[in-house]
Amino acid sequence: MMEREARRTPPELQELTEQLSLRWFGRPFIHEAVYNPRLRTTGGRYMLRDHSIQVNPAVEMMYGEEELIGVLKHELCHYHLHLEGRGYKHGDSDFRELLRKTGSPRFCKPLQAEQQRTVRHYRCADCGRQYERRRRVDTSRYRCGKCRGKLQEVQ
């Protein structure tokens, strides 16, 4: 996947969010929409305390404007339902219905940082059981869960 440069400035992101809110939800977005480069595994998030929407800039750089609009519409579903006092969580029927009505995606496309995680392989020296872990395991502290044997990292 070829990365693109971010096309929008923060004021343009705010304006796009306000336009999408009026067009798809018929209500104004009166809070703040910002880029948050610290987001790693998600395309965006709605903040309950200050009602702001944070967007991962990697979404627009990797997938373009269409995916950015999808993320914003998804977060606007959370926003409007929360302000109305209706079910705004992913499992709530109000939320799922509003996603369907507005054509908003339930999930964003996977971000490259999440796809390229390394997997470490460990094997028990006694019983031979194999383990896969994303984080490094301290083999001097941890043992096999089956036989309590010593773990060895497999290269």
Which residues are known catalytic residues? 75
Q: Which two tokens stand for residue 101?
A: 């009505």
Where do runs of H (alpha helix) occur along the chain? 10-20, 57-63, 65-84, 93-102, 112-115
Judge whether 29 and 18 are in contact, CB under 8 Å: yes
> Residues with Cβ < 8 Å from 82, sequence gap 6 or more?
46, 48, 51, 88
Separation between Cα atoms, residue 50 and residue 52, nearest integer Å: 5
Amino acid making up residue 135: R
CA distances for 145 relative to 8, 29, 112, 119, 135, angstroms: 50, 52, 32, 19, 17
Specify whether the CB–CB gap between 101 and 36 falls below 8 A.
no
